[in-house]
Amino acid sequence: MRIAILGLILVAAIACGDSDERAIRNQMSAIAESLSVPEKDGELGRIARIAALRNVLAPDIAVSTGVPDRPGAQVPPELVGRDAVLALVGRWVAPAGGVTIEFVDVQVTLAADRATAQVYSTARISSGPDERPVVDARELTIGFAKIDGSWLIASVRPENTLVR
């Protein structure tokens, strides 16, 4: 009997951990979908994507863009706050042919308190016609925080994978 109860507790603990990781992976898919732009996109599609993105960002999100600070730059090196991130996304114009964002090699590490998590992933960006696409990839560390029962992005930081 005692072994059955311990087994049940172990299964419940594993299931809870899997549900948090699954929720974070689902958020990553929602983010990729929100950032992807179809070939023939209109204003309504852009607004819908921004609204969807708003639902996965923490109010005090901090994003490091990896862009050096220079006068007149279109993209600042750091963005703080959901509104600042959404404003930048709203100004972005996708190239002709649309853009597809995918997160691959997603590794989720939950903190012991289960209130935060770190995700290390590769963002693969492709655009252009199918016969000659332009493909780029960036390594990212994405911090998640569980806020009011939902896993929201609290931070984004590009990783330097090449040593010069």
The two tokens of residue 92 are 């972005």
Between 32 and 77, residue with greater pLDDT: 32
Across 15-28, average pLDDT: 82
Across 128-157, average pLDDT: 87
Beta bridge partners of residue 127, listed in sequence order: 99, 134
Mode of pairing for the β-strands spanning 57-64 and 99-110? unpaired
Answer whether residue 83 shows pLDDT above 90: yes
As a whole number of angstroms, the distance between CA 59 and CA 156 comes to: 13
Domain positions in the chain: 2-158
- What is the CATH topology of the domain spanning 2-158? Nuclear Transport Factor 2; Chain: A, (3.10.450)
Answer whether residue 8 shows pLDDT above 70: no
C-alpha distances out from residue 161 to 46, 65, 68, 132, Å: 32, 15, 17, 26
What percent of the chain shows pLDDT beyond 90? 43
Phi and psi based region of residue 116 (left: phi greater than 0; alpha: psi -120 to 50; beta: remaining): beta
Q: Which residues contact 55 (CB under 8 A, 6 or more apart)?
A: 30
Residue 147 is predicted with a pLDDT of 95
Q: Which residues contact 37 (CB under 8 A, 6 or more apart)?
A: 45, 46, 49, 94, 98, 99
C-alpha distances out from residue 24 to 64, 102, 120, 129, 144, Å: 20, 15, 12, 31, 8
Write down the residue that tokens 């998640």 correspond to.
144
pLDDT band at residue 131, thresholds of 50, 70 and 90? low
In this prediction the pTM is 0.80
Write down the residue that tokens 């992976």 correspond to.
25
pLDDT band at residue 42, thresholds of 50, 70 and 90? confident
- Tell me which range, 30-39, 87-96, 103-112, is most confidently predicted by mean pLDDT: 103-112
